[in-house]
Amino acid sequence: MAEDKNKFLNESGKAGLILAGVAIAYFLITTLMGKSSLPGVASTLLSLVLWAGKLALCIWLMVKFLRKFAEENEKNRSRTFRFGMSVALCSALVYSAVYFAYVMLIDPNMFSEAINTALQTYSSIMTSEDLERVANLEPSMPTITFFINLIWCWLFGTIVSAIASSSICGSDNPFDE
């Protein structure tokens, strides 16, 4: 039983690392694009195409990983769903950690620049207390974005896992077991 659990975690970890790699590659490419001199419309269109490609690739990979797991495990929907949740959690943890490291170590001014731009843009319609509250958010932004990314990526992966495991293994309830 312990060997089966180790295999489960090992396989879900590998799949999660691959999915995180796709998300990290997208993040790095779009970050570099933001620092390039592409015109605004071209940059926005390219970012949109890359985002759609990342989304499609992540969904396709998750379905592929779930299908492979289901075939090796007698198409047990509940177990396949749990595998997908584990993959999503691993992927979310790795991606969120890399994003956190990026904003803390590589580009620590990222949030201060964004907040300063927002303060300049909205200073005419915000009170001084509102401006101060927004400015006070800056030190907490890396932590806030870490948890937002973690929760969002895990929830999205869980939803994809629920839908995919249902279509791969049948329609029994994944929450029963």
Q: Report yes or no on 96 lying in a domain.
A: yes
DSSP string, 8-67: HHHHHHHHHHHHHHHHHHHHHHHHHHHHS---HHHHHHHHHHHHHHHHHHHHHHHHHHHH
Q: Report yes or no on 85 lying in a domain.
A: yes
Q: Report yes or no on 58 lying in a domain.
A: yes
Number of domains in the chain: 1
pLDDT confidence tier of residue 150, bands split at 50, 70 and 90: very high
Give pLDDT, residue 171: 62
Cα 4 → chain centroid: 27
Structure tokens at 149: 């990314």
pLDDT tens track for 29-65: 988 887 777 777 888 888 899 999 999 999 999 999 9
| Phi-psi category of residue 74: left, alpha or beta, with phi > 0 → left and psi -120 to 50 → alpha | left
Give pLDDT, residue 176: 56
Per the structure, the complete domain to which residue 88 belongs is given by 2-169
From residue 69, give the alpha-carbon distance in Å to each of 11, 17, 82, 92, 104.
9, 16, 11, 20, 36
Q: Report yes or no on 91 lying in a domain.
A: yes
Q: Report yes or no on 115 lying in a domain.
A: yes
pLDDT tens track for 67-109: 999 998 877 888 999 999 999 999 999 999 999 999 999 988 8
* Amino acid making up residue 5: K
